[in-house]
Amino acid sequence: MRGGTLALAVSLGVHAQQSDLPPPPGKLFDVGGGRKLHAICTGTGAPTVVIEAGASSFAIDFTLVQRHIEKSSRVCSYDRAGSGWSDPAGKATTAQDLKALLQAAGERPPYVLVGASRGGLLIRNYLLAYPDDVAGLVFVDPSTEDRLFTMIDGKGVAIAEVTAEQLKTTFPREPVKVPRRKPQTGPPFDRLPPDLYQTRIKLDERLIAAVPDVVAAEIVADSQERERAMLARLLATRSAKQPFGDRPTVVLSRGSDPNADREAAHAALAQLSSRGRSAVIAGSGHEIHLFEPDAVVKAVSEVVQAIRARRVSSHGRHDSGR
């Protein structure tokens, strides 16, 4: 329910007050209409690396990774609308928000997109919307559309394969009570610097408090349909041969609880690029960026270096032909 709770909070446009939070570690950028999103952009060196966190996650979750990447590349992490220090969602999609944020921050494409968990779906959605903006991809134990299911006529069916009419049969007819979870504490979040760990607990408490106890049935239905439509779009891209093209791509899987189906799905995701590979990170839990940050740094560096090498080669061929 972690992802669902966050989605509902964003759909409702609710957001807790932040008076007792420390100042944001990054900057707030206007993405239109006075609405602001929080981004932490550090380092220098193209291409810029842009990090898309998972559900119920924040920009500061990638501190351990960002502090290494910034030594050799420009890198931005951010809080999606309704999360962290960012304002609630407006009418824009997540991809449109990110596009506006990067423009407001003065960051130049093309980017290396890094997506963790649900963020893996979102960076693919961004690629669909703005293909010229994306030079490479890194997935950190990503969600995939073929492993997200709903129940239709008593059977589990991939949401991406369900029609809008079929999904309507699953919609609630009464307001939905939202279950409460506790803030995420302890491993691996306590691997963050102590001050950021305490701030993260506060951010999570506020994210939880932002969700009402009961949500209207029509809001749940709208959220579910938007999710189905996105997953269906992503599934449809697989009909093309290697829809990621030749963009360097790395897919990382957690290794603490081996799962052949999940690892096969991640391997298949890597194969959507002609220059893709997948790897299982032994001993790591879902939050690889906290359990084994060096593995994420290595994957990002690999993709960045491949893009830089291509640029050097391209310039060399151009110059020799003049």
pLDDT digits 0-9 by tens, 115-154 = 999 999 999 999 999 999 999 999 999 999 999 999 998 8
Q: What is the pLDDT of residues 3-30, one digit of tens each?
A: 444 354 444 444 444 558 899 999 999 9
Give the per-residue pLDDT at 20: 80
Sign of CA pseudo-dihedral 36, 39, 29, 19: positive
| Neighbour-count burial of 315, counting CB atoms closer than 10 A to its CB (0-12 exposed, 13-18 middle, 19+ buried) | exposed
Q: What is the pLDDT of residues 250-300, one digit of tens each?
A: 999 999 999 999 999 999 999 999 999 999 999 999 999 999 999 999 999
Give the residue extent of every domain in the chain: 2-16+24-143+179-212+238-320
Average pLDDT over residues 183-202: 98
What percentage of the chain reaches a pLDDT higher than 70?
92
Distance CA 85, CA 101 (A): 14
Residue pair 305/45 in contact (Cβ under 8 Å)? The answer is no
Distance CA 197, CA 250 (A): 28
Q: What is the pLDDT of residues 287-300, one digit of tens each?
A: 999 999 999 999 99
What architecture does CATH give domain 2-16+24-143+179-212+238-320? 3-Layer(aba) Sandwich (3.40)
Sign of CA pseudo-dihedral 149, 166, 130, 274: positive
Give the per-residue pLDDT at 134: 98
